[in-house]
Structure 1
Amino acid sequence: MANLFSHRATKEHAMTHYLELPGGRLAYDDEGDGPLVVCLPSMLDLRSQYRFLTPLLVAAGYRVVTLDQRGMGDSDAAWPEYGSTPLAHDLMALLRHLDAGPALVHGCSNGAGAAVYAAAEAPELISGVVLSAPFVRDGEAGLAQKLTQALLRVPGLARPLYMSYYPKWEPKPPADFAEHRARLDASFRRPGRAKVIGAYMGMSHAEAEARLDRVAVPALVIMGTGDIDWPDPVAEAEWVAGRLGAEVVLLDGAGHHPHVEFPERVADAVTAFAGSLPR
């Protein structure tokens, strides 16, 4: 049975809530009133990735919950497994715990894969999915990418290598980029987290891809044309949308975190999509 805990946190979060699960404890924020939107940040980032989008959605009349993935931020680090499929199970547990009716799920990167998995397995919990920079299948990695992934499994190299790569995901960085990056780096330096980056490197999205045809809820795909994680991000967005019968919103020049670089445009797209969902 999931249990809820909360405590006063740092300036970054006025209140942090905790969900206790058999393998560990997950941290999340819960702000606003209205229809529920649950936001999953990209792999190896913090829930504060939604620091710009959340207030816009709250102002538009939504309740917004943002989650730290396993091993990240204020969530525990000693989990038996990491990745899209474990995140999907965490998402379903969180939605059942919140018990606020079907939610709109906004998932970025592997968070999108988790949203697809959960929508297929528990459609009663989800009213729609927003797939931002979505990883819902495994891409073909080149030699350089395979070498980088191998190095990211080495504890002594993983953190500095990952942090040096991080700016490539936000080619149009916000004014507080350095501050957020410093918080992320500090998260990796917490006790017990030396192997977290490497643990995510073996992640597969095959189970999400296998469930694409079972997703019956409405979907929206948001992709930045400058997303370096795909050789052709526009083609990938169109492929995902074609499998789901989804709309596509393309953001010119945006990278792997479109809601950080263009929060107003993403908020407009999300609220328009949310308004079209059956109540």
Structure 2
Amino acid sequence: MNGTVAPVTRHLDLPGGRIAFDDTGHGTGAPVVLLPGMLDSRAAYRHLRPLLTAAGRRVITMDLRGFGESSIRWDDYSPAAIAGDVLALLDHLGIERAVLAGNSYTGASVVRAAGGAPERVAGIVLLDAFVENVPPGALQRLAVGAMGALLVRSPAFWGLYQRRMAYPGPRPADHEEYVTGLVDAMRTPGRRTATRGYVRGDSAPAGWTAAVRCPALVVMGSKDPDFPKPELVADRQAAALNARKVMIEGAGHYPMADHPRATADALLAFLADLV
């Protein structure tokens, strides 16, 4: 993992379960909280985190409900629930304000946190998120539903997506090992319940961006297979949030893994401009 020592796992106990996180680096600017996408773990940021900490940023990565080293069974896996977990973690760490970054499913979570608790959020970053996505047609909705059902029934389908689709360009050196770990994790007893919770969640709720007043950055991979037209989605997000937009050429759905340097450069430039 880029030759760095893995951070020590810490836990936050909440009424519904336990959230795993790590807290590395230090600096004078607002800490950065990185949230992975659904069915993933905070290790999704294993290549980005050291670049940010080396630049003098305090970085917190958090596992989501049901995945990574967090508790598996919860009664709610929605983006709104995850937004509440993030704010609870800030309270736990005594952090007054932070920059929140969400990938894919959790883009909605950071938008929700920023809109609901503006005094706690210094800025938000959307990494190939579904916020303000182009409304799907009937056939697309059917396809998404079918893929969701496959994910619940067959963890191998998630591995197929990760190996064949999500990374259309370069892949991290540890990609195969990482994907094998993701698939194995989905086979953990009880994990199907968590998978179902995410698949049925609304990753692109309408109207949440209207409440956001903080600075925002939209980062999108130019070859993200989850969007027929990635730049169109990025434009919609940037317009809704009055945000800065950065397209990463050749990146897929996880730019922090396949283009960590370019992603770090985009984030660090954004962070440098925050008051």
Q: Same fold (TM over 0.5)?
A: yes
Name which of 233, 238, 244 aligns with 2:235.
238
Partner of residue 27 from structure 1, selected from 20, 35, 58: 20
Please name the residue that 2:127 is paired with.
Answer: 132
Q: How does 1:71-90 map to 2 (within 5 A)?
A: 71-90=66-85
Residues 47 and 257, structure 2, Cα contact 8 Å, conserved in 1: yes
Separation of aligned partners in 1, 2:19 and 2:97: 21
* Partners of 1:154 and 1:198 within 8 A in 2: no
Name the CA shift for 1:141/1:27 in 2 (closer, same or farther; >3 Å): farther
Mapped partners of 2:145, 2:53: distance in 1: 37
By how many angstroms is 1:148 displaced?
5.4
- Of 77, 85, 99, the residue aligned with 1:104 is 99
5+ residue gaps in structure 2? none
From the superposition, tell whether residues 179 and 141 of structure 1 become closer, same or farther in structure 2 (CA, over 3 Å): farther
Can you list the C-alpha shifts for 1:119-177, whole angstroms capped at 9, x where unaligned?
A: 00001111001111011146416536634533533687331222211221122211110
Q: Distance in 2 between matches of 1:94 and 1:18?
A: 9
My pick for the range that moved more, 119-128 or 142-151, is: 142-151
Partner of 1:4: none
CA RMSD of aligned residues (A): 2.0
**Distance in structure 2 (CA, Å) of the matches to 1:28 and 1:100:** 14
TM-score (norm 1): 0.89
Residue 45 of structure 1 deviates from its aligned partner by 0.9
> Any conservation in 1 of the 2:99–2:124 contact (CA below 8 Å)?
yes
Deviation (angstroms), 1:232: 0.8
Cα displacement (A) at 1:89: 1.2
| Equivalences for residues 153-192 of structure 1 within 5 A | 153=149, 157-167=153-163, 168-171=165-168, 172-192=170-190
- Structure-2-length-normalised TM-score: 0.91
Report how many residues are paired. 267
Q: How many angstroms apart in 2 are the aligned matches of 1:68 and 1:141?
A: 32
Superposition deviation, residue 189 in structure 1? 2.1
Q: 1:52 to 1:211 in 2, by over 3 A?
A: same
**Residues 6-65 of structure 1: CA deviation (Å, up to 9, x unaligned):** xxxxx9844101111111111111111123100001111111000011001001111111
Q: Which amino acid aligns with 2:162?
A: Y
